[in-house]
Amino acid sequence: MRKKIVAGNWKCNTTIQEGIELAKSVNDLVLSKGAKDVVVVLGTPFTHLYSVNEVIDNSRIHSAAQNCAAEAKGAFTGEVSVSMVKSTGASYVILGHSERREYYHETSESLNKKLALTLEQGLTPIYCCGEALAVREAETQNQFVKQQLDETIFNLTEDQLEKIVIAYEPIWAIGTGKTASTQQAQDMLAFIRGLIATKYSDAVAQKISILYGGSCSASNANDLFSQPDIDGGLIGGASLKSEDFLAIINAY
Ligand code: 13P
């Protein structure tokens, strides 16, 4: 059985105090009413991770950084290394989000270093991929996503690949209120799983959780999560309200 995962990505939102309140509220709701078979992850800003980990029950809820340095340590002013992330108690690192690729020039080369460091430290990468609207309109989304994977996670060994989570987030659906249709999301996730089966094996492909992200909400999560290849969601806006986030966790 693949893990079902609902991961929040808070992006650049909340002060530490607001983040602690949000994490406490999610924690209370998940412990009292949350589906027990869903892995819940909170992707908070770096500054919040330690404090958030103090207020969540780590047997039910995990935390994630939204990025990490491409170097292990050293003279890289402003960077946050994976070992620093690990020392906060976080166990996941979101890597390759389209906002980082687009605004901060994240490349496959830097992502490969980040993937290696994250895996070395025993943290789980949530590797993001997904195409822009022009690519979707040209109907070349499959080639585009395949190239993203070929340049990064498909360089990993089978053992390494089995440890990661993949999130497909079409850029045109992020923060726009325009979700990919259930069929579009299912088709892409099945395509990605098929690529893994071809490149590695069907057994590996069946083990890896693949998430959908992009305007996922309480109203569409149930439909999305009912699909055979959709193993959960990476949630932006709706993860900032604990009741909405709980409804998505319970949408299975
Ligand atoms: P929204 O859910 O706000 O569209 O954001 C999705 C996302 O980018 C999660 O990483």
Res 180 pLDDT > 90: no
Q: Which residues are catalytic?
A: 97, 169
Q: Cα–Cα distance between 180 and 187 in angstroms, integer?
A: 10
- The model's pLDDT over 58-109, given as tens digits with 9 standing for 90+, comes to 999 999 999 999 999 999 999 999 999 999 999 999 999 999 999 999 999 9
Per the DSSP assignment, residues forming a β-bridge with 225 are none
* Predicted TM-score of the model (pTM): 0.98
Q: How many angstroms does the Cα of residue 251 sit away from the middle of ligand 1?
A: 17
Q: Cα–Cα distance between 79 and 71 in angstroms, integer?
A: 9
Average pLDDT, stretch 2-18? Answer: 98
Nearest CA to ligand 1 atom 2: 236
**CA 98 to ligand 1: nearest atom:** 8
**CA 215 to ligand 1: nearest atom:** 4
- Give the Cβ contact number of residue 225 at 10 Å: 21
Under the banding of pLDDT at 50, 70 and 90, the label for residue 177 is: confident
- Residue 59 amino acid letter: S
Closest to 236 (Cα-Cα) out of 10, 4, 6: 10
Res 203 pLDDT > 90: yes
Give the mean pLDDT of the chain: 97
pLDDT at 157: 98
Q: How many angstroms does the Cα of residue 102 sit away from the middle of ligand 1?
A: 15
- Give the Cβ contact number of residue 10 at 10 Å: 23
Pocket mutation for ligand 1, best pick of 133, 172, 174, 211 (most atoms within 8 Å of C-beta): 174
Q: Do 122 and 86 touch, CB atoms closer than 8 A?
A: yes
Query: What is the CB < 6 Å shell around ligand 1?
Result: 9, 97, 169, 174-175, 213-216, 234-238
- Looking at domain 4-249, its CATH class is alpha beta
Under the banding of pLDDT at 50, 70 and 90, the label for residue 123 is: very high
Under the banding of pLDDT at 50, 70 and 90, the label for residue 31 is: very high
pLDDT at 17: 98
Average pLDDT, stretch 15-41? Answer: 97
The percent of residues above 90 in pLDDT, for the chain, comes to 97
Q: DSSP of the chain, one letter per residue?
A: -PPEEEEEE--S---HHHHHHHHHHHHHHHHHHS-TTEEEEEE--GGGHHHHHHHS-TTTEEEEES---SSSSSS-TT---HHHHHHTT--EEEE--HHHHHHS---HHHHHHHHHHHHHTTPEEEEEE---HHHHHTT-HHHHHHHHHHHTGGGS-HHHHTT-EEEE--GGGTTSS-PPPHHHHHHHHHHHHHHHHHHS-HHHHHH--EEEESS--TTTHHHHHTSTT--EEEESGGGGSHHHHHHHHTT-
